[in-house]
Amino acid sequence: MAEVTRCGATAAGMVSAAARLPVPRRTALAGRRLTSVWFGLATCAAALSFSSASATKHDYTSVFSKDRDAGVKFENLPGFTRSVVERDHALITPESRVWSGTPGWKKTNTAHLITPSFPMAAEFTMYLVDMQEGGVFQSDEKGQPHLERFIFVVEGSIFVKCADGPLTLKDDDFAFFPPGYAHQIENLGGAKLVVYERQHFYASETVPAFHHGNTEEKPNLVTPGEIFKLKKCLPEQEEYDFNIHIMDFEPGEFLNVKEVHYNQHGLLLLEGQGIYRLGERWYPVQAGDAIWMGPFVPQWYGALGKKRSRYILYKDTYRPPGHLMAHGAPH
């Protein structure tokens, strides 16, 4: 990192020096050569700057930041929101979050962003969790024997009691709790989470296992034709009927494939900003925004601004549409 910084500073200094050089008046060719040298140095400095930014720690503080609640800060526009709900997609922005209590979560505020309720009719639930001092969650495996749960720590830390624990999870850590798996979550300080839940759809007698980890320990996977970075949090095995993707884009990077597929998505933008195409609409988005994508909605993302983009994404897997029709889609 120090070496990159030194190189960046050197390149920047060279660019500054080149910019101060007088353009020779003897020939136009000399001027063009000097311009080419200046442009090359500027490109080098910019590349080093982006490389240095990519290596820094991820910053998710904008997800729960109160500054996001204001949306666009126009005092003469009461009632303004960027949130949109359509037949096949929804954009839920921070100023539209409604916080309340949820059974099982004590001394905790939750904001449900995606649910099976009409008009979404999603096959999963996605919500934010803001645990207060003394906040605790206790699972109800008897009352909800088929419910599976995935938690990702956005800020702070939690203590998890379970058969494979105890363990402490901090920001960028995650855990998957399979159906019928008893667990308790305690707030250790400033815990802010994003949670995904769904009724497990059994494709076989095999039950998925408890799984936990850290996103930075997951390898970047090969994505043919794409330039973004992709990590998958859960094992790619048939027992797991969904996966959670972590996707990173440097400014200017974008999805090559303009996707249209049967899978549903629940997305939370953790860092950065850009443009998300959903159907025939193009939405400016930023950290803290949540998106629901229904089956077959055209979707595409391009990262803009000066910071990298990262989002967490739910995707149903290993359950082809024909299989769902034969056994009944989960809700």
Which segments within 142-239 are labelled E, that is strand?
Answer: 147-162, 167-170, 173-177, 183-199, 211-214, 229-232
Predicted structure pTM score:
0.80
Q: Looking at residue 44, what is its pLDDT?
A: 43
Token pair 């209590």 is found at: 101
What does the alpha-carbon distance between residue 131 and residue 198 come to, in Å, rounded to a whole number?
21
Question: 51-66: per-residue pLDDT in tens?
Answer: 444 567 899 999 998 7
C-alpha dist (Å) from residue 73 to 97, 242, 271: 17, 38, 20
What proportion of the chain, given as a percentage, has pLDDT over 90? 70
The CATH architecture assigned to 66-327 reads: Sandwich (2.60)
Q: φ, ψ for residue 143 (rounded to 5)? A: -75, -25
pLDDT per position as a tens digit, 71-81: 555 555 788 89
- pLDDT for residue 31: 44
Nearest Cα to 223, choosing from 257, 199, 192?
Answer: 257
For the chain, how are helix, strand and coil distributed in percent, rounded to 5?
A: 20, 40, 40
pLDDT of amino acid 71:
57
